[in-house]
Amino acid sequence: MENLNLNISNYNLHTIFGAHIKIKKEIVGTQFTVFAPNAKKVSVVGNFNHWNFDKNPMTRISAQGIWSLFIPNILQGEIYKYKILTKENQLIIKSDPFAFFSQIRPHTSSIVYDIFNDFLWSDDKWIKKRELRNIYKSPISIYEIHLGSWKKNDTCFLNYREIAKFLIPYLLELNFTHVEFLPLTEHPLDDSWGYQGVSYFSITSRYGSPQDFKYLINELHLAEIGVILDWVPGHFCKDSHGLYHFDGKPLFEYTNNTLKENPLWGTANFNLKNNFVKNFLISNLIFLFETFHIDGVRVDAVSNLIYLEYEKEKTGLTNELGSDTNLDAINFLKEMNEAIFKRYSTPLIIAEEATSWPSVTKPTYMGGLGFNFKWNMGWMNDILKYMSLSPKDKVNSSNLLTFSLMYSFNENFILPLSHDEVVHEKKSLLDKMYGTYIEKFDSLRMFYGFMFAHPGKKLIFMGGEIGQFVEWRFYEELEWKLLKFPQHDSIKTYLSHLNLFYKNESALWENDFSSEGFQWINHQAHKNKVITFIRKGEHKNNFLIIVCNFTTNQYVNHCIGIPRMTKYIEVFNSDKDIYGGNNCLNNEIILPLNKEIDNQPFSISINVAPLSTIFFKPIFLKEE
């Protein structure tokens, strides 16, 4: 350890730093190791020494500033901190940046925990299946969840094990393929939803121990549900016990105040030029994959990372090339993604990137940032605005509905309906829909159908499946009582069936990222706001015709173009009565017409319910 060089790449810092239970000279104890280059003296303090600074001083074992100490008889469960004498002779007390477990807020101590030996995994089958899977040509439907407000027990947090009991059957019922947890990094303030972390190697103790969290993931994998964690490598919270000015001076953050401070969130930005900080973050990511068997991460606020003045007051801050690009962040993201893809064959590394930055999901060797998925923020903003418009305003706003297909194949997109869109007076998804009470439900079903037909993987934040009218409130559980009402229960049934239909129809996901998987039939929505298009699988006979009626008009014997002279059947319709609709269906086999419409050689005549999405499938003879 004395020869450890923190100026070169090392993504296993979690095996070196922190508190590790060891046996030395036949005595069980804990080895504490911390990086504090600007400290004059560092001690380990806790209940075991009455928080006395002089009882357990650490030894500086490297010129770079690594301090270490073995304390006999310190075992799992012991709380501790580092007390640091700065070069300015100030005494500060800090939690361990590499702590594997932490006290629940408002307490801030780190906890000795043997995280590498606390659980016996049984998800080998899932891991092997995951490694062989082509994630780009697979269905991905993600349920985004905030654990603190999904379900509560008498207003208290559920334990990870209790959550497993309720969440897994629920996800199976709704047929989601993945669950994505809002950040579970230990954080001091519930109001931050986890986005202002303080102990990156500590899964929050709000819901139990690391072992409990491993149990939840293991059970999810046994149910063949993938796990994605929200991860925040851009900035961290400035609470005094955390990373901020860790040894009396900036260590994890930039020294330059303009680069260091993040006024948008009241946080500090990680110094992504510093090799130790880069190693800290990449080690953390690898730690999450290795220790908790996660399947992927959604990297938060990538736009805030890659631009020096993203959503900040413009001061003319530029890099040495004269642009607004944060070159340190670009290099970090590339290094991070290369490190992950070198170790894992099929991770989901998802960028929340809100600008038109090119090649976010291209490999670094092709000039990209190296992610393999990106949230399609443009689609989300456009379509939600469109759905909120009156019929009159929709006439001149059809570009909001169709523009996404101009760029859908530039990146590997996930279509998100995320937590950010149902807070801060933005309204719930259901309440965003224009119209009467019933029209809102019809519109939401139609909108979900359009979303699942649109190229790209899918993500829906909790509450969207039960049609909440109120915005998400992090301090209350979802309004489960709504399921007593038919329209809300029907929305849940609808999304469950839609997810299952999506998973079973490969035309909806085999060619998500290729223009060969999509074809417009008629997108002239400004005329009657009924659009038709085709989703195509890899085989020529594997395709679906999708009809989306964004109007409150019903169309009988409505002709649409089709590409092949064969029979068709309706295979999914959002207007079924079990979904809360009026059963305006196409129950019979539909015969083709030798009549050219919509630049297609043939056509079919169908019934189209108001505010509905319908899927039609061709019927071919085997020899075809």
Instruction: Tell whether the model's pLDDT for residue 501 goes beyond 70.
Output: yes
494 with 211: CB under 8 angstroms?
A: no
Q: Give the CA angle between residues 315, 318, 324 to the nearest 5°.
A: 95
d(CA 236, CA 198): 6
| DSSP β-ladder status, 141-145 and 457-461 | parallel
DSSP state of 470: S
Residue 157 φ then ψ, to 5°: -70, 140
Label residue 2 by pLDDT band (50, 70, 90). Answer: low
Helix (H, G, I), strand (E, B) or coil at 85: strand
pLDDT, tens only, 282-310: 999 999 999 999 999 999 999 999 998 88
Q: Give residue limits of the domains in the chain.
A: 145-231+267-505, 515-619
168 with 131: CB under 8 angstroms?
A: no
Average pLDDT over residues 482-495: 97
Long-range CB pairs of 330-334 (<8 Å, 24+ gap) are 330/306, 330/369, 331/272, 332/233, 332/272, 332/278, 332/281, 332/305, 333/299, 333/302, 333/305, 333/306, 333/369, 333/370, 333/371, 334/364, 334/369, 334/370
Can 145-231+267-505 and 515-619 be said to share one CATH topology?
no
Residue 247 φ then ψ, to 5°: -115, 30
Residues with Cβ within 8 Å of 500's Cβ and at least 6 positions away in sequence, in order, are 175
d(CA 578, CA 589): 21
> Worst-scoring range by mean pLDDT, 218-222, 409-413, 618-622?
618-622
Q: Residue 319: its pLDDT value, please?
A: 87
Question: Which residues is 31 bridged to in the sheet?
Answer: 20, 70
d(CA 29, CA 76): 9
Q: Which of 133, 105, 103 is closest to 224 using CA atoms?
A: 133
Q: Give the CA angle between residues 524, 527, 533 to the nearest 5°.
A: 30
Q: CB 355: neighbour CB atoms within 10 A? A: 13
What is the second-level CATH architecture of the domain 515-619? Sandwich (2.60)
Residues with Cβ within 8 Å of 178's Cβ and at least 6 positions away in sequence, in order, are 140, 141, 142, 143, 225, 226, 227, 228, 295, 296, 348
Residue 23 φ then ψ, to 5°: -115, 120
Helix (H, G, I), strand (E, B) or coil at 229: strand
d(CA 281, CA 232): 9
Question: Which residues is 183 bridged to in the sheet?
Answer: none
pLDDT, tens only, 522-573: 987 556 689 999 999 999 999 999 999 999 999 999 999 999 999 999 999 9
The stretches of 239-324 forming alpha helices (DSSP H) are 257-260, 275-292, 302-306
Identify the active-site residue in 352, 382, 411, 570: 352
Measured in whole angstroms, the distance separating CA 521 from the mean position of its chain's CA atoms is 33
Residues with Cβ within 8 Å of 447's Cβ and at least 6 positions away in sequence, in order, are 383, 387, 433
Q: Residue 1: its pLDDT value, please?
A: 62
Identify the active-site residue in 96, 144, 212, 300: 300
Q: Output the average pLDDT for the chain.
A: 95
Residues with Cβ within 8 Å of 479's Cβ and at least 6 positions away in sequence, in order, are 463, 466, 468, 470
d(CA 300, CA 352): 5
Edge-to-edge strands of the sheet including 518-522? 518-522, 530-536, 543-549, 612-619, 567-573
Helix (H, G, I), strand (E, B) or coil at 513: coil
Q: Residue 4: its pLDDT value, please?
A: 82
Residues with Cβ within 8 Å of 586's Cβ and at least 6 positions away in sequence, in order, are 569, 570, 573, 606, 607, 614, 616
478 with 436: CB under 8 angstroms?
A: no
d(CA 285, CA 566): 51
The total number of residues written for the chain in this structure:
624
pLDDT, tens only, 168-208: 999 999 999 999 999 999 999 999 999 999 999 999 999 99
Q: Is 300 a catalytic residue?
A: yes
pTM for the full predicted model: 0.96
CATH homologous superfamily for 145-231+267-505? Glycosidases (3.20.20.80)
Q: Residue 624: its pLDDT value, please?
A: 56
Q: Residue 306: its pLDDT value, please?
A: 95
Measured in whole angstroms, the distance separating CA 64 from the mean position of its chain's CA atoms is 36
pLDDT, tens only, 133-143: 999 999 999 99
**How many Cα atoms within 13 Å fall on the side-chain side of residue 88?**
6
> Worst-scoring range by mean pLDDT, 4-18, 139-153, 286-300, 309-323?
309-323
Q: CB 565: neighbour CB atoms within 10 A? A: 11
Q: Which residue has the tokens 């000015």?
A: 245
Average pLDDT over residues 495-500: 98
pLDDT, tens only, 346-393: 999 999 999 999 999 999 999 999 999 999 999 999 999 999 999 989
Q: Residue 525: its pLDDT value, please?
A: 59
Average pLDDT over residues 5-23: 93
d(CA 39, CA 246): 9
